[in-house]
Amino acid sequence: MPSKLPPLSSLRVFEAAARHGSFTRASKELGMTQAAVSYQMKILEERVGTPLFLRKPRQVSLTETGERIAPVVTEAFELLRAAFVMAEDASHNLLSITTVTTFATNFLAERLGNFQILHDDLAVRLDTSMSVVDFSREDFDLGIRSGDGQWQGAETHLLIPAKFSPMLSPDLAQSVGGIKKPSDLLKLPLVDASDPWWKLWFDSMGVQSEGLRGNKRSRMGIQMLEARAAEAGQGVAILTPDFYRDSLKRGSLIQPFDDVCHDEGRGYWLVYPKARRNMPKIKKFRDWLLNEVKEHCN
């Protein structure tokens, strides 16, 4: 069935005029001329099919029909106002972050509480995903992604460069009499031997990497899972040391060589649309996170 709802512009004028009992005061509130208010009321009355106001010199009063619908229209506009106030408050007070799992688990999760203590006016929603987010279509304020930092229309800040070195459990190292030289790692299964970081690291150490083909292959996709496999003694993982300092301190992982390679230009980045760079909640999180990275990863 066709909608019976009159034009919203006319209803808005009716609500103001009914509340003030005056076309003049309604026109001032709405920033319209009195003639425009009268015109909108004419449209509405024609749509309803009966007068809504009694026109008197210097004042108007509601007809019986006008009195019946005025409270309902006023309530409807109050509900709309409340809905948009809630939406605005939620937008200002909720910080939505999308992040890759490794960064969330090995860096952000244990520190995010400190941010919320400093900024208790903000609620934080954290989502972990490997997918590249379209900020114009998805409800996120900012993201943390791995890559080269070249994302069109985005403001980017490098957090942690793509550095890597082999790590394994102490028990696995002892199973071959310890790891004394880089080539000793080839005696053990590698967690995802197809990872290009392995070849880069072995090449930098002057070790022929053809032997990687003979190692057990497994693909887990994210560092966090590869690190857990290494801690469980399932193989040697190639990992970013900044993420596993606690594991190295606890001794659940060892880094047999100080040598660290870089995947030039790549790393973990803070990303958000350039148009949002001055939003207070984004500035708060950006400044806090960059400071955290500076303190803990340098």
Residue-range domain boundaries for the chain: 8-91, 162-265
Position 88 scores a pLDDT of 61
What are the CB-based long-range contacts (under 8 Å, 24+) for 225-230? Answer: 226/191, 226/192, 227/106, 227/167, 227/253, 229/191, 230/167, 230/168, 230/169, 230/172, 230/191
Per-residue model confidence as pLDDT tens for the chain (298 residues) = 445 778 889 999 999 999 888 899 999 999 999 899 999 999 999 999 999 999 887 788 899 999 999 989 988 887 887 677 666 655 678 899 999 999 999 899 889 999 999 998 888 988 888 777 777 677 888 999 999 988 887 889 999 999 999 999 999 999 999 999 999 999 998 988 888 899 899 999 998 877 665 455 556 668 888 999 999 999 999 999 999 999 999 999 999 999 899 988 899 999 998 888 888 899 999 999 999 999 887 6
Q: Which pLDDT score is estimated for 82?
A: 67
Q: CA–CA separation, 92 vs 86, rounded Å? A: 10
d(CA 226, CA 234): 9
CATH for 8-91, options being 1.20.140.10, 3.30.1300.10, 1.20.1560.10, 1.10.10.10: 1.10.10.10
pLDDT of 173 reads: 95
**pLDDT of amino acid 145:** 92
Choose the CATH number for 162-265 among 3.30.565.10, 3.30.420.10, 3.40.190.10, 1.10.1140.10.
Answer: 3.40.190.10
Q: Taking the model in full, what pTM does it have? A: 0.67
Tokens matching residue 171 = 């028990």
Q: What is the reported pLDDT for 214? A: 47
